[in-house]
A and B are shown apart, each in its own frame.
Chain A
Amino acid sequence: MNVGIEALNVYCGLAQIPVPELFEGRGLDAERLGNLMMRNRSVGLPFEDPVTNAVNAARPIAAGEDRIEILITSTESGLDYSKSVASYVHEYLGLPRSCRVVEVKQACYAATAAVQLAAAYVASGVSPGAKALVIATDVALVDERAAYAEPAMGAGAAAVLISDRPRVLDLDLGAFGNHSYETMDSARPGPTFDIADSDRSLFAYLDCLTSCLAGYRSRVEDADFATTFDHLAMHTPFAGMVKAAHRKLMRESGGGTASIEEDFERRVLPSLAYPRRVGNLCSGSVYLALASLIDHAALDGPARVGLYSYGSGCSSEFFSGLVDEESASTLAGMRIGEHLDGRCELGFDEYAALLPDTLTCLVPERDRQVDVGAYEHLLSRARFDRDLLVNTGTKDYHRTYEWLAP
């Protein structure tokens, strides 16, 4: 049985700021722009939250589906210690009441754990024809305190439909490697701020990639980083990190250093086009990279993709699957590039003025009103052509939502 990703979509908000603009506004050293390799970052608006991002990503792939038996949201932007983001998402996607609903957490890795568990469920045959919808959804909680991490953080969601009709990515079942251990490289101790030790995180990301590949090779005879995978899509904290990881793995696999840059441009760079325009999408990041790869690589036959997911704390996985022309035609229907082009471009002052509201969007408040109309000056500069879910506040702690027409 073939199992994998039947449909994939991302939603990365309605606004973005060019990274050089943010560097200038914060007085950051422009020489470090080259290392980050980032062009823009998505910026959440005060009426966007993990629920709206998830619903807006998933709606185009969930519409008309009547066999979704499992809904999993993966987030490090939880809204409640007990009630899941998925419970709201289930409602606003109009999914069947016979559906399992659950939320998972393991920093930027959790969605991949969910994808693998869902794929195994589909492959088990316990419910023939069943599908699972996994949505990685997050908001950014960064301001000037985050220094060079601020320009790298994105916001939005990636939605992945897992089934036995894998038109986007046909998973290599049984081909994977994992690596996990406890470390405090980054965390979100409260609903308004992140803490991060960027060097510790960088080493853990690289260390886990090497160890995951060793695990993969122990399951897949003769697998080799340099030759087994036609393309690579990796968790992208910032695009420069992926470049460094690729360099490290190429050295370890014994590839000549002269060809590393050419190999990077051919196998990896297509996966970074969207991440460079969005920022770190947390556990959706590897699926944003996969979407980028499928939309930008010339696929003229089956191609094997190696995928790497890393989540601070930490847990990680390297796995693989096949993409082909049908992947490209299926994903093209989502018009992801057009969506990213349509985001409103913010100036630094506009961006800074939004932060007090966006940084508190996860804070539980008994009653709150969000006036979507107050942001008409930004909305009128964004292009979108379908109804989008927006948060209008809370009533007795219950989050309230409305549909916003184009």
Chain B
Amino acid sequence: MTDTEIFETVKQNVLKVLPDLRPGDVTTEGTLTDLGANSVDRADVVTMSMEDLGLTVPVSEFQEVHDIRSLVDLLARHA
């Protein structure tokens, strides 16, 4: 599974959770908070992405996630 595939999965889930965004708004440089995601939305994006990718990541590890790039990196480490 490539980083690009993981990013695309995260991006699709961001767009599902925040349907007002345009696809181009979601980039690896941005943060979920900047895109308007509250803590519940962030949890949704993370859990939906884990499900889609078939991954289980211990919840404690999400503490280090501060932007979309680090979320993709974390998921990639467990892929």
Chain A binding surface SS class: helix
Query: A199 contacts which chain B residues (CB < 8 A)?
Result: 39, 42-43, 62-63
B39-A248 in contact (CB<8A): no
Q: CB-nearest residue of chain B relative to A182? A: B60
Instruction: Tell me, in angstroms, the Cα distance from A199 to B63 when the chains sit together.
Output: 8
0/1 interface trace, chain A 225-268, chain B, CB 8 Å (1 if under): 00000000000000011011001100110000000000000000
Which residues of the other chain, B, contact A243 by a CB distance below 8 angstroms? 40
Given known pairs A35-B38, A251-B48, A251-B51, the reply for A202 and B43 (CB within 8 Å) is yes
A200 B60 Cβ-Cβ under 8 A:
yes
Shortest distance between the CB of A32 and any CB in chain B (Å): 6
Residues B45-78 near A (CB distance < 8 A)? 46-48, 51, 59-60, 62-63
Count, chain B residues at interface, CB 8 A: 14
- Centre residue among A35, A183, A197, A203 by max chain B CB count within 10 A: A203
Residues of chain A with a CB closer than 8 A to B60's CB? 183, 200
Please tell me if A204 contacts chain B, counting CB pairs below 8 Å. yes
In the assembled complex, B8 has its CB within 8 A of some CB on chain A: no
Chain B proximity of A259: nearest CB distance (Å): 16
- Quick check: is A371 within 8 A (CB to CB) of the other chain? no
Say if the beta carbon of A206 comes within 8 Å of chain B.
yes
Chain A interface (Cβ within 8 Å of chain B)?
Answer: 32, 35, 183, 197-200, 202-204, 206-207, 240-241, 243-244, 247-248, 251-252
Interface residues of B (CB under 8 A from A): 38-40, 42-44, 46-48, 51, 59-60, 62-63
Top 5 closest A-B pairs, CB basis?
Answer: A203-B59, A244-B40, A207-B59, A35-B38, A202-B43
